[in-house]
Amino acid sequence: MGNTAIQDQAPERTAPPKAPSRPSAGVLLAVCIVLIGLNLRTVFSSFSAILPEITEASGMPPALVSVLTTGPVLLLGLVAPAAPALARKLGIERTILAAVGVLTAGLAVRGTGDFTAMAAGTIAAGAGIGVVNVLLPTLVKRDFQHRLGLMSGLYTGSICAAAALGAGFTQPLLQATGSWQNALAFWTLPAALVVLLFAPLALRRGRTPGTAQADAGPSVWRSALAWQITGFMALQAMMSFSVFAWLAPILRERGIDGAMAGYVVAGSIVVQVLGSFLAPPLAARLPSQGWLNAFIALLTGAGFALTILGPLDLIWVWAVMLGVGQGSLTALALTMIVLRTHDAGTAARLSGMMQCIGYGVGSSGTLLVGILHTSSGSFTPAAVMFMGIGIAAAFTGFLAGRARFVGGSRQD
């Protein structure tokens, strides 16, 4: 007989998922998922919010700035393939707990202000986030089948809220403490609090039957639909992390002072939270998300370009436009993991693949913006790049949102 291959199947009728037998345990886990999400983007947005002050006060070399903006995003992709295997050994909850511990330690080390420590701490934080990024959707798929849209909205919304917190509060922390080191170190505290709150639950649960499925089953790397979802993820990540790293510097170069730039960035990201809450439940109600994905991708690309090129007196309009688009786009990309798979094992493998490639490629966005700005002395080429990325994301998002599933039966 011929070689086997994964089929991207049309939806098939399955038995209705069951809710957790202990509602109180489910609520506690849901709360922990949201609190963990609230710590997954502060490492990015807090640094960019006070980047001019850091470079002026410390004389930080441009090469280190590139490491601190691009390095953690690259780590998100590099560690992603290891997450399912770690979860199979330790259990999903215990692996997430360990990763959040690494994130907390990285944030603490970054706050010392020593250049070497900053690089090491930021990279460690990126590695911890990379593991959690892969496993949170798997946890939602495993334990919240009866509330996929709601839980996807809650955890993606909390991730966007984390970015808003870092962007909006780091500048005031700098002004209040007079120290950029203290402003960065502050973000260790909420991460450490989550470790303390989540530890009892994680240590009690250990390994579960769903964990053992994480590496089982056919490879998603041969699935065309998996690659389309991965492409969608990569293109949205190029824009998403560029927002965290460069939106504040873009606004400040356009003549907006540091405090106001922080408010605009935070406002845009607060709107992201709204988009990320609303998009997953809407997507879960639709049999196909293709047109929704395409529209949101175009909205995001246009919003980013207009923050660079549009009239400055309408900057809040462009910031809100970008926020609605980027929040919804990030949420939709992550929601594809749970909507386009049948089980937690396939979701874990797809999540590892799309975040490995997605964040690996996505890290190039922040780097390309820096290269284009350095070579041209302007952010205008970046605006053109983002319009192109938005169009490409619309195409891949349309394909990724078709009413089909990754995985399924093998055929000869």
Kindly tell me if the per-residue pLDDT of 176 is higher than 60. Answer: yes
- Averaged pLDDT of the chain: 84
Percentage with pLDDT > 90 across the chain: 39
Kindly tell me if the per-residue pLDDT of 182 is higher than 80. Answer: yes
Biggest alpha carbon–alpha carbon distance for the chain: 71
Q: Would you tell me how many other CB atoms lie within 10 Å of the CB of residue 409?
A: 10
Residue 99 has which token pair?
């990763």
Residue 348 has which token pair?
């874990």
Q: Answer for the pair 315, 256: CB distance below 8 angstroms, yes or no.
A: yes
Of the CA atoms within 13 Å of residue 58, those in its CB half-sphere come to 20
Residue 297 has which token pair?
């991708």
Q: What is the pLDDT of residue 49?
A: 79
Tokens 């334990």 locate to 143
**How many Å apart are CA 133 and CA 57, to the nearest integer?**
33
Q: What is the pLDDT of residue 24?
A: 65
Residues 232-260: pLDDT tens digits? 999 998 998 888 778 888 998 898 887 78
Kindly tell me if the per-residue pLDDT of 211 is higher than 70. Answer: no
16-33 burial: b if 16+ Cβ within 10 Å, else e: eeeebeeeeebeebbebb
**How many Å apart are CA 153 and CA 157, to the nearest integer?**
6
Q: What is the pLDDT of residue 74?
A: 78
**122: Cβ–Cβ under 8 A, 6 or more apart, which residues?**
43, 47, 67, 68, 71, 72, 106, 110
Q: What is the pLDDT confidence band of residue 25, given thresholds at 50, 70 and 90? A: low
Q: Regarding predicted confidence, which is higher, 43 or 410?
A: 43
DSSP state of 20: P
Distances (CA, A) of 249 to 72, 92, 252, 268: 19, 38, 5, 14
Q: What is the pLDDT of residue 15?
A: 42
User: Can you give the length of the chain in residues?
Assistant: 412
Q: What is the pLDDT confidence band of residue 13, given thresholds at 50, 70 and 90? A: very low
Which of 56-70, 136-150, 197-211, 357-371 has the lowest average pLDDT?
Answer: 197-211
In the chain, what is the straight-line distance between the N-terminal and C-terminal CA atoms, in Å?
6
Dihedral over Cα of 26, 226, 240, 211: its sign: positive
Q: What is the pLDDT confidence band of residue 312, given thresholds at 50, 70 and 90? A: very high
Kindly tell me if the per-residue pLDDT of 410 is higher than 70. Answer: no
Q: Regarding predicted confidence, which is higher, 324 or 356?
A: 324
- pTM score, whole prediction: 0.75
279-290 burial: b if 16+ Cβ within 10 Å, else e: bbbbbbeeeebb
Q: What is the pLDDT of residue 6?
A: 44
Q: What is the pLDDT of residue 408?
A: 52
Q: What is the pLDDT confidence band of residue 5, given thresholds at 50, 70 and 90? A: very low
